[in-house]
Amino acid sequence: MTNRVIKFGQLDLTIDGQMLDINDKAPNFKGKLEDLSDYDFYNNEKGKVKIISAVPSLDTSVCELQTFLLSKNEENFPEDFSVITISNDLPFAQKRFEKEKDISKVKLVSDYLYEDFAKKYSLFINELKLINRAIFVVDKDNVIRHVEYLKQNTELPDVEKALDIALNLTKTN
């Protein structure tokens, strides 16, 4: 199995698995929603262009900023477009965050129970059992059209680039 080293601040940590790339099929995954019901990526987002925003925890300033940047224009999102922020936070904490930050269209999904997303997308930080920061754009056929894995968790992905790519896909599909 492939193993790579990432940074979490000053710490060197490891992640197993092969990174996904453009034109790869985005793996299906399941998580938990704020009401503790199961979330199924393929079923819940069928027929939509998707941004998957992977963050370790919404209780950190960088994760909060990444989520804010994706949600700041959510009232203008087309119907066939979805933004999913996935973290290891408990669904209760995600629900509180959503309410406090007045987020309505960005879906918050928890990977705390299954760790399915983190492992299938090669983002599971072995030593911390957290998700490594990343962003993916997935088209309506579940093909990855943009991916950015971060080597340093204290840095932000290029959110504007992901939004531009995703919103352009809604116009062409």
For residue 41, report the phi and psi dihedrals to the nearest 5 degrees: -55, -50
Apex CA 57: angle with CA 23 and CA 166, to 5°? 30
| Residue found under tokens 């704020």 | 34
Which residues, listed in sequence order, are joined to residue 30 by a DSSP beta bridge?
Answer: 40
For the question of residue 63 being annotated catalytic, the response is yes
Q: Which of 58, 63, 86, 159 is catalytic?
A: 63
The set of catalytic residues is 63
